[in-house]
Amino acid sequence: MTAASAVLTAALLMFHRAVPDFAVGAGSLLESFLPWLGAAVVVLLVPALLRRSAVALVALLLPVAAWTYLFGGLLLPGSGAGPRDLVVVQHNVSDENTDPAGTARVLADAGADLIALQELVPRALPVYERTLAADYPYHSVRGTVGLWSRHPLTDARLLDIKPRAITESWSRGLRAVVHTPHGDVAAYVAHLPSVRLRASGFASAWRDESAGLLGRAVAAEKLDTVVLLGDLNGTVDDRGLAPLTTRMNVAERGFALSFPAGFPLARIDQVMARSATVDHLGTLPATGSDHLPVVARIGIG
């Protein structure tokens, strides 16, 4: 039984795309927590040792090898800062955050070139604008998402990523051009719809539709270099984000689990890039949000 469980764990890791979604979203749910399948090795190791089963111990090498192949690179240190790097911060600040000024100070202390925020509400927006103004003289806000920059911004506009079934006012996308010392970069800020785990299964249809709209917008972008920062409500392994992950580079180093802040289980706050590399992704100290901020170093060119 232990050996069979080890083989099954390895198979799920390597062939997770083969797990069907059907109506319950099983495949997408599995992929949301895929790295945690590594914990099964620890659980299975106990009975294998107690029974002194050589077959089970050898079988456990399969999920270890699969996990290392998929995620081992994320544990390696970054390659070090380069002369053409941009540092970016992504944070869902939470519409229930009671300390926006403290949150803004944590973000500013990271010394980033760009800061992308989601769940900006009218009562907190002036606080972020005031607190970040000294270090980030350029900013643009559309609906509940915003971008702050050390470098000039132009051509800022609303990005329509609203699912068809949402009829009320809903503005969670922004596109702007950042004039960096290394050339112009199209910056996209997005907050995709939430997913829900219900008795009927893993509900992600709105998120998936919004990801498709965002993916098409990125594909149509005329500037070569694109940086996407957002609360995408999905991990990079989740097939629902395939319209983005098939078009853009994701982090090469760093797990940066960001949600929930109290005990992070998944990284749903993402930094992706086109014609650039996301060399390393990490987290910043907790703020008044239920998400942790993530910080990334992006190599341009």
Sign of CA dihedral 300, 282, 222, 244: positive
- What per-residue confidence (pLDDT) applies to 56? 83
- What per-residue confidence (pLDDT) applies to 52? 81
Give the closest residue to 244 by CA, choosing from 212, 196, 278.
Answer: 212
Residue-wise over 178-195: b if at least 16 C-beta within 10 A, else e? Answer: bebebebbbbbbbbbbeb
> For 82-86, 145-149, 193-197, which range has the lowest pLDDT when averaged over its residues?
82-86
Max CA separation in the chain (angstroms): 66
- What per-residue confidence (pLDDT) applies to 229? 98
Residue-wise over 43-79: b if at least 16 C-beta within 10 A, else e? Answer: ebbeebeeeebeebbebbebbbebbeebbeebeeeee
Cβ contact 251:281 at 8 Å: yes
- What per-residue confidence (pLDDT) applies to 74? 92
Cβ contact 276:301 at 8 Å: yes
**pLDDT above 90: percentage of residues in the chain:** 82
Q: What angle do CA 118, 188, 82 make, to 5 degrees?
A: 105
Question: Does residue 295 surpass a pLDDT of 70?
Answer: yes
Contacts of 207 (CB under 8 A, 6+ apart): 192, 193, 194, 195, 232, 233, 234, 240
- What per-residue confidence (pLDDT) applies to 200? 72
Contacts of 7 (CB under 8 A, 6+ apart): 59, 62
Question: Does residue 11 surpass a pLDDT of 90?
Answer: yes
> For 59-63, 134-138, 217-221, which range has the lowest pLDDT when averaged over its residues?
59-63
pLDDT band for 51, please (50, 70, 90 cuts): confident
Give the closest residue to 287 by CA, choosing from 118, 148, 128, 94.
Answer: 94
**Strand 269-274 to strand 201-203: parallel, antiparallel, or no bridges (unpaired)?**
unpaired
Scanning the structure block, which residue is given the tokens 């699969």?
66
DSSP state of 192: P
- What per-residue confidence (pLDDT) applies to 83? 65
Separation CA 155–CA 292 (nearest Å): 29
